[in-house]
């Protein structure tokens, strides 16, 4: 298949969560979330209660994909950073290690400069976590949990 | 590329509805959205033009239930069917786990179906996939229209390999869930085999 499967284990999830928890405080942001390039939400921190994070994840990934398409047409490798400015809130989108997307939503309690600074640091940490995760997923390949799924299990899912 | 989260015990998969312009991809998603319990679905997003033609994609997140303690979540996407949106279609196919090809059964749309099918094949190859490896089903939509080609004719042109196929009328929901279940099942079976 074209791209390896994304697998998230408990240990790495806690590492990722620690980075986003720290970032939301250090950047004084409203919300921070991490999604994979296919639009799946991986982790979130901050005031996520009011937000439809699933939709946000999918649209952000679409946005990154479209921008990546434009970059290709311009023979650029990638536009790794995007910033959208609104009246009340702003959104900073950073591609991390070509695999995941780091999104920071913030208002006027902080500044773009501070957000960029903190994002830079967090990106480096996230890059190494996801790098290690990719290696781990590759080597452990499929876990037993899925090999044990029977055709009956799958059928049962659709029997209602 | 499915996403497995061992912590929250979730399997996330991406299914793409493909097909020529106005074949009923968005209508499939709308029907699923309208008939699904509120707790099992998220918001449906349509990035469409003012005349309701899909511009980039439609998106519908759906929870199908649990398998061995893992919640299964499917993200359904449609592509824009119009020929000139090819760059967008390629983007949406990235990371796909399963494909539904929606056929417009009307005789007048035969050429558009074939063109779209060829487009799907070449776009998949460009992403490093191939149609005989990706979980894939065919839906013959608009069976209620007056001038439709027979299933045999459509099969000969569009489903020579005999993948699971379903006659449908997406506006009334006929065949819509059958199609979804079939592709979801193929995706999970593929996951079980660890074939990626």
Q: What is the pLDDT along chain B (196 residues), one digit of tens a residue?
A: 788 888 888 999 999 999 999 999 999 999 999 999 999 998 999 988 888 888 889 999 999 889 888 899 999 999 999 988 999 999 999 999 999 999 999 999 999 999 999 999 999 999 899 998 999 999 999 999 999 999 999 999 999 999 999 999 999 999 999 999 999 999 999 888 875 4
pLDDT in tens, A88-138: 999 999 999 888 999 999 999 999 999 999 999 999 999 999 999 988 887
SS3 string, A95-113, reads: EECCCEEEEEEECCCCCHH
Q: Residue A64 domain-assigned?
A: yes
Query: Helix (H, G, I), strand (E, B), or coil: what is residue B174?
Result: strand
Report the CATH number that the domain containing residue B180 is assigned in CATH: 3.40.50.300
What rounded mean pLDDT belongs to chain A? 89
A62-82: pLDDT as tens digits = 999 899 989 989 999 889 999
**Are the CB atoms for B79 and B18 separated by under 8 Å?**
yes
Which residues from A are below 8 Å from B127, CB to CB?
2
Helices and strands (H and E) in chain B: how many? 5, 8
Q: In terms of Cα–Cα distance, which of B167, B78, B59, B157 is closest to B117?
A: B157
Q: Is residue A68 one of the residues assigned to a domain?
A: yes
Closest by alpha carbon to B61, among A66, A58, A35, A23?
Answer: A58
Residue of B nearest to A159 (CA): B181
A1 domain-assigned = no
Whole-angstrom distance, CA of residue B71 vs CA of residue A17: 21
Q: Do A55 and B181 touch (CB under 8 A)?
A: no
User: What's the domain range around A47?
Assistant: 10-157
Residue A79: CATH number of its domain: 3.30.450.30
For residue B185, the chain A residues in CB contact (below 8 A) are: 154-155, 158
Q: Do B67 and A149 touch (CB under 8 A)?
A: yes
Separation between Cα atoms, residue B123 and residue B86, nearest integer Å: 9
Rounded CA-CA distance B107/B147 in Å is: 6
Query: How far is the C-alpha of B32 from the C-alpha of B58, rounded, in Å?
Result: 12
A4 belongs to a structural domain: no
**Chain A partners within 8 Å of B61 (Cβ):** 54-55, 58
Q: Which domain holds residue B161?
A: 3-193
Neighbours of B127 (CB within 10 A): 17
Answer whether residue A34 is part of any domain: yes
For residue B184, which phi and psi values (nearest 5 degrees)? -60, -40
A3: in domain: no
Residue A20 has pLDDT above 80, yes or no: yes
Q: Using an 8 Å Cβ cutoff, are A1 and A28 in contact? A: no
In whole angstroms, what is the distance from residue B135 CA to residue B164 CA?
10
Note the pLDDT of residue A60.
Answer: 93
Chain B residues 12-41 within an 8 A CB cutoff of chain A: 12, 14
At residue B8, the 3 state secondary structure works out as coil
The shortest CB-CB distance from A154 to any of B1, B95, B185 is to B185
Residue B95's contacts (CB-CB under 8 Å, 6 or more residues apart) are A2, A3, A37, A38, B1, B14
Query: What is the number of structural domains in chain A?
Result: 1
Quick one: closest CA in A to B68, which residue? Answer: A149
Closest CA to B42 of A139, A56, A133: A56
- Closest residue in A to B11 (Cα) is A7
CB proximity under 8 Å: B 64-103 to A? 64-68, 70, 72, 75, 87-88, 90-92, 94-95
Measured CA to CA, the distance from residue B93 to residue B119 in angstroms comes to 12
Alpha helix locations (H) across B85-194? 86-93, 110-126, 151-158, 176-193
CA–CA distance, B68 with B83 (Å, rounded to integer) = 42
Please tell me the distance from the alpha carbon of residue B59 to that of residue B29, in angstroms, as a whole number.
Answer: 8
């Amino acid at each position: 298949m074209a791209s390896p499967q994304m697998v998230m284990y408990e240990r790495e999830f806690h590492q990722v969560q620690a980075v986003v928890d720290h970032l939301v405080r250090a950047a004084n942001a409203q919300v921070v979330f991490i999604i994979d390039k296919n639009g799946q939400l991986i982790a979130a921190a901050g005031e996520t209660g009011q937000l439809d994070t699933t939709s946000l994840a999918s649209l952000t990934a679409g946005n990154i994909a479209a921008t990546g398409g434009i970059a290709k047409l311009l023979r650029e490798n990638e536009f790794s950073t995007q910033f959208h400015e609104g009246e009340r809130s702003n959104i900073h989108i950073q591609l991390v290690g070509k695999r995941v997307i780091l999104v920071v939503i913030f208002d006027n309690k902080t500044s773009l400069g501070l957000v960029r600074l903190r994002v830079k640091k967090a990106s480096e940490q996230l890059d190494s976590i996801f790098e290690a995760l990719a290696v781990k997923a590759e080597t452990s390949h499929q876990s037993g949990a899925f090999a044990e799924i029977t055709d009956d299990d799958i059928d049962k899912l659709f029997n209602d | 590329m499915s996403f497995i989260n061992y912590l929250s015990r979730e399997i996330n998969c991406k299914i793409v509805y493909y097909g020529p312009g106005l074949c009923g991809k968005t209508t499939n998603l709308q029907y699923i959205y309208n008939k699904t319990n509120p707790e099992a679905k998220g918001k449906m997003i349509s990035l469409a033009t003012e005349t309701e033609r899909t511009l980039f994609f439609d998106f519908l997140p759906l929870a199908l239930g649990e398998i061995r303690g893992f919640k299964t979540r499917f993200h359904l996407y449609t592509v824009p069917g119009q020929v000139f949106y090819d760059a967008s279609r390629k983007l949406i196919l990235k990371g796909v786990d399963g494909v539904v090809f929606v056929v417009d059964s009307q005789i007048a749309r035969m050429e558009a179906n074939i063109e779209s099918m060829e487009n799907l094949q070449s776009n998949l190859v460009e992403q490093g996939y191939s149609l005989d490896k990706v979980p894939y089903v065919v839906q013959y939509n608009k069976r209620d229209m007056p001038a439709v080609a027979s299933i045999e004719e459509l099969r000969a042109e569009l489903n020579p390999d005999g993948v699971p196929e379903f006659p449908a009328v997406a506006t009334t929901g006929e065949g819509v869930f059958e199609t979804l279940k079939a592709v979801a099942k193929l995706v999970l079976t593929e996951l079980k085999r660890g074939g990626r």
